[in-house]
Structure formats: structure tokens, C-alpha cells
């Protein structure tokens, strides 16, 4: 096996030495591994066995009545590779199999009939077949072999090519539809976007972005556009989960958050909320262990601002100190705080907090250390910022 070039994939072409460029060019000839498991390999092999077996047997039974008659066309072997090994490929679809082989056979017959020079006829048959297949949207690699076979065998009658072709192609497609469908590979495979529910995978690119990228790439891909989009979205989601999977609460939290104590006056706590533009304050004891949390909603609820007029005056009266030794009106944070607080440890994986924010209705989660002391806080904004950093494209 040829050795791998050192960092040649990550370096710009200008940064490579002449030897590294030569090595990199030679490695282009080395095939990439086939990324399928043993089950899929055997599924392809058995499919070709079934498809070719049925096609050959029925074609021979239908067409081999006269000695020397053509009952099987050799390019059908190549078609079988596509139909059963890569049934999702645009090059393997029924119209590609039948139309690609058919128009290529027609081109080959016309070249054999009209061009006396066999070398010139062979040279023109294949590119002309490609031209017609592209125009009719039925590009099929075995079509090139079909056109060349017509020239080399000097087929000058359309019945010679189209008779076996119709039978071979029809049987091959029927076998492909039955076998692929039974083994979990939809065939025909949808090649164009169909109106339906929006995918749950929401990536950073839109279908329009993918169309623009394909237009810029300007090459035929052996994968449908929608399959390519799904592959990219799944790859992006895998990277998203991998990047987030390494993050802990300590990596994302706002450290040393502003906190208040049980006896902090209400007007001081409210001033801190306004001054720092936050909506919650952890409530801690003297050693910064969590005892509760006070939020803007706690202030609103205890001030009785759900109904009535003069809300501003009523709220100011609520947070103002009464100056009395005893009072029915709350005076300190501890009297209005929420005591049941959901907290998380600093070493906890960040992904475990996502359901709390998205489904649990939490907006602020205090972060504690191994001794239950407050060391940080994570808000919805912190989580969104972490998600963005995990999936962003730098530069």
C-alpha cells in the first residue's frame, strides 16, 4: 500500500514540495475503501445473481429460438452492477437503464450504418451516445458499451438491437424493483424533491445553498441531490453531537455570578437585576451554598401585579422598605425567593442540560462545585452561544 503523504490533505498546494505533490498525485490512483458492511456486500452479490439469472434464463427462453440469434447483450452485465450494487445512484434508475441503453444502441446502429470507417464509427458512437443520454436525462455508463458493441458487431438493423434490449432491460428492471425493495433499498429511488413534511434535521445550510454549491461544482455526481443533502445534514448533526459531547457546564457557564443572600433587601436585589440586565439572582448563604433563587417573576408575583391599575406605583411600594420592626409586606429576598432550585454540577455534560431548557421551562441553572458552592450560572443565552460555537464555520 502506498504511504500516506504527510499533512498533504491539509496544506495548500503551494505549500507542498515537488516530492509531496508527486506523491499526492500518485495516491489519487489508489482506491478508497468501500464504506459498506459485509451484509450490504452480500446483498449486492446475491442481487446480481438473482437479477442476471432471471434475465438470462427468461431472455434465452424468449429469444434463442433461432440458432445464432442475439438473446443477451453484454452491457447488461454492467447495468446489473449499478442496479443491484448502487440502486440509489441516478445512473442506475429504470429510465437510465432502459433509456440509456436504448438510445445508445440506436446511436451505435446509426454510426455502423452511415459510417464506413470502423475506427471513425467507434470513435464517434460513444461521445454521441453520451450527448444524447445527457440531453434525455438517462446517463448510463453501460450505454457507452452498448453503442460501441453496435459498431463493432456492425448492427445495421434496429430490430437486432431493440429486440434483445427491450427484453433484457425490462427483465433487469423488474428484477431490480423486486429484489431491492424486498431487501430494504427503495427502487426506483426518488431523484427529485417531493413535497412533504420538513425534515427534523435543521442544518446551517438551506436547499438553495446546496443548489448553489452544486452549480459551482459543475460536475455530475453519482448520488441524487436529495441523498447528498441528507448525507450532509447527518454529517453535520454527527459533528454537532461530537463537539457538544465534550463540553461540560464549566466550559460554558458564566463564572462568579452575581448573587444575593437571604436577608438582602428587595430594593437592593431589584437594583442589581436592573443594573446588570439579568432576570435571576441565585440566593446563597455565607459560604455561597445555594439556598434559593429570586427572579423577576418572583417580584411580579409577590407584588400582585397580575391585575389592577397603577402597576408602577404598586411595584415601587412593594420593593420600598417599610422601616417597621414587623410587617406583613415582604422586606427581604428570602421571603419571595423560590426555594426549589434545579442546579447542576460543574463537571456535568452540557448536553444533559438541553432538555431542561427546551422542555423543562428553565431559564437559569446555577452551577455548583463538589461542595455545593455556587461557582457559575448557565442561561438560555449561554446555551445558545455554546451551540453556535460548536457548529460554526470559522473564517
Long-range contacts from 189-192, C-beta under 8 angstroms, 24+ separation = 189/87, 189/88, 189/89, 189/92, 189/93, 189/224, 189/227, 190/224, 190/226, 191/90, 191/93, 191/224, 191/225, 191/226, 192/225, 192/226
pLDDT for res 130: 97
**Residue 207 above 80 pLDDT?**
no
Confidence category of residue 248, pLDDT binned at 50, 70, 90: confident
Residue 310 has pLDDT above 60, yes or no: no
Q: How much is the pTM? A: 0.58
Do the beta carbons of residue 256 and residue 379 sit within 8 Å?
A: no
**How confident is residue 6, by pLDDT bands cut at 50, 70 and 90?**
very low
Main-chain phi, psi angles of 66, to 5 degrees: -100, 135
Which pLDDT does position 345 carry in this prediction?
Answer: 92
Give me the helix-helix angle, 158-182 and 38-63, nearest 10°: 140
Q: Is the dihedral of CA 41, 45, 50, 54 positive or negative?
A: positive
Strands 254-255 and 364-368: unpaired
Angle at 35 between CA 34 and CA 39, to 5 degrees: 95
Residues linked to residue 292 through DSSP beta bridges, in sequence order: 283
Strands 374-379 and 364-368: what pairing? antiparallel
pLDDT digits (tens, 9 = 90+) for 22-48: 888 888 888 878 888 999 999 999 999
Phi-psi label, residue 184: left if phi above 0, alpha if psi -120 to 50, beta otherwise: left
The H or E element that residue 250 is part of is helix 249-252
Omega before 188 within 30 of 0, i.e. cis: yes
Look at residue 338 and tell me whether its pLDDT is greater than 60: yes
Q: Which residue, 88, 83, 89, 49, is CA-closest to 176?
A: 83
Whose cell is 442546579? That residue is: 343
pLDDT at 195 over 50: no
Mapped onto helix, strand or coil, the DSSP state of residue 379 is strand
| Lowest-pLDDT choice from 132-141, 283-292, 321-330 | 321-330
How far apart CA 163 and CA 310 sit, in angstroms, is: 92
Give the DSSP H or E segment for 314. Answer: helix 311-319
Q: Which pLDDT does position 197 carry in this prediction?
A: 41
pLDDT, position 59? 93
Count Cα atoms within 13 angstroms, Cβ side, for 25: 8
Cβ atoms of residues 77 and 85 within 8 Å = no
- The share of the chain scoring above pLDDT 70, in percent, equals 81
The per-residue pLDDT for 391 is 62
What pLDDT, on the 0 to 100 scale, is given for residue 323?
58
Q: What is the pLDDT of residue 55?
A: 96
Residue 83 has what pLDDT?
Answer: 97
Q: Which of 78-87, 266-275, 330-339: highest mean pLDDT? A: 78-87
Please choose, from the candidates 314, 318, 316, the residue with its C-alpha nearest in 3D space to the C-alpha of residue 333. 318
Query: ∠ CA(82), CA(83), CA(86), 5° rounding?
Result: 55
Q: What pLDDT, in 10s, does the model give residues 119-138?
A: 999 999 999 999 999 999 99
Residue range 140-153, pLDDT digits in tens = 999 999 999 999 99
Mean pLDDT of 262-268: 90
Residues 153-189 pLDDT 10s: 988 887 766 788 999 999 999 999 999 999 999 999 8
First CA to last CA distance, the chain: 36
Amino acid at each position: 500500500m502506498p504511504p500516506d503523504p504527510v499533512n498533504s490533505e491539509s496544506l495548500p498546494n503551494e505549500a507542498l514540495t515537488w516530492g509531496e505533490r508527486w506523491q499526492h498525485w500518485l495516491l489519487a490512483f489508489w482506491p478508497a475503501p468501500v464504506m459498506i458492511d459485509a451484509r450490504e456486500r452480500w446483498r449486492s452479490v446475491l442481487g446480481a445473481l438473482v437479477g442476471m439469472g432471471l434475465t438470462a434464463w427468461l431472455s434465452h427462453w424468449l429469444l434463442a429460438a433461432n440458432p445464432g440469434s442475439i438473446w443477451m447483450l453484454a452491457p447488461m452485465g454492467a447495468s446489473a452492477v449499478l442496479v443491484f450494487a448502487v440502486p440509489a445512484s441516478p445512473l442506475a434508475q429504470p429510465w437510465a437503464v432502459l433509456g440509456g441503453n436504448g438510445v445508445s444502441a440506436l446511436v451505435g446502429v446509426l454510426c455502423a450504418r452511415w459510417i464506413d470507417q470502423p475506427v471513425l464509427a467507434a470513435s464517434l458512437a460513444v461521445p454521441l451516445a453520451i450527448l444524447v443520454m445527457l440531453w434525455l436525462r438517462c446517463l448510463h455508463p453501460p450505454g457507452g458499451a452498448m453503442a460501441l458493441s453496435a459498431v463493432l458487431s456492425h448492427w445495421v438493423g434496429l430490430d437486432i438491437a431493440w429486440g434483445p434490449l427491450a427484453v433484457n432491460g425490462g427483465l433487469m428492471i423488474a428484477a431490480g424493483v423486486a429484489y431491492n425493495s424486498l431487501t430494504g433499498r427503495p427502487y426506483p429511488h426518488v431523484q427529485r424533491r417531493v413535497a412533504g413534511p420538513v425534515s427534523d434535521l435543521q442544518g446551517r445550510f438551506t436547499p438553495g445553498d446546496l443548489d448553489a454549491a452544486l452549480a459551482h461544482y459543475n460536475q455530475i455526481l453519482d448520488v441524487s441531490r436529495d441523498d447528498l443533502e441528507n448525507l450532509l445534514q447527518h454529517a453535520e448533526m454527527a459533528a454537532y453531537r461530537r463537539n457538544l459531547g465534550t463540553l461540560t457546564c464549566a466550559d460554558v457557564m458564566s463564572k462568579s455570578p452575581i448573587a444575593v443572600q437571604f436577608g438582602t433587601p428587595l430594593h437592593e436585589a431589584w437594583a442589581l437585576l436592573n443594573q446588570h440586565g439579568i432576570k435571576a439572582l441565585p440566593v446563597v448563604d455565607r459560604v455561597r451554598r445555594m439556598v434559593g433563587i429570586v427572579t423577576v417573576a418572583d417580584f411580579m408575583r409577590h407584588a400582585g401585579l397580575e391585575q389592577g391599575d397603577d402597576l408602577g406605583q404598586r411595584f415601587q411600594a412593594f420593593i420600598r422598605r417599610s422601616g417597621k420592626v414587623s410587617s406583613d409586606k415582604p422586606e427581604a429576598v428570602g421571603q419571595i425567593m423560590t426555594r426549589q432550585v434545579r442546579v447542576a454540577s460543574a463537571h456535568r455534560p452540557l448536553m444533559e442540560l438541553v432538555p431542561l431548557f427546551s422542555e423543562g421551562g428553565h431559564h437559569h441553572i446555577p452551577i455548583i462545585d463538589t461542595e455545593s458552592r455556587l461557582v457559575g450560572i448557565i442561561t438560555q443565552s449561554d446555551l445558545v452561544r455554546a451551540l453556535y460555537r460548536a457548529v460554526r464555520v470559522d473564517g
